[in-house]
Structure 1
Amino acid sequence: RAGLPKREPEFLARWEAMGLRARMLEDAKDRPDFILHDGPPYANGDIHMGHALNKILKDIINRSRHMMG
């Protein structure tokens, strides 16, 4: 295992020291807003792997839109 719960504070501190969030906001300031509407995750039954795929795909869409400008 990667020990991500223990390592998360390290990642957050490094990103903060780099000013990563501020740089991302600065890069995006002149771009039009992109809004991806996401409904309730488990409205019609129990959670299953399809829900995970749905969330992963939405994450990919948001990240790729940000990287494309």
Structure 2
Amino acid sequence: MANVYVEARPKGRQEGSAVTDFVVEDHADHILATKGTQREAIDWAKSEGHRPLIARVRHLNDKKKPDHWREE
């Protein structure tokens, strides 16, 4: 089961601005899916056999730092 990362978009948005969607990315930043809600992105990843990881804090999302992520 491969790790995938669920991230809010747009990336680098200002605090308080709206999230437009959520993407599921692999470790190389390739977008595997785009969904309207975080729950839809998580459910899609699980249905595809992936292990979804969610950023603990939206602006801290370095994929090389495991402490930035929590398993869903």
TM over 0.5: no
**Computing the radius of gyration over CA atoms, which structure comes out larger, 1 or 2?**
1
More strand by share: 2
TM-score by length of 1: 0.29
| Greater RCO, CA 8 A, separation 6+ | 1
Q: Please, what TM-score do these two structures have when normalized by structure 2?
A: 0.28
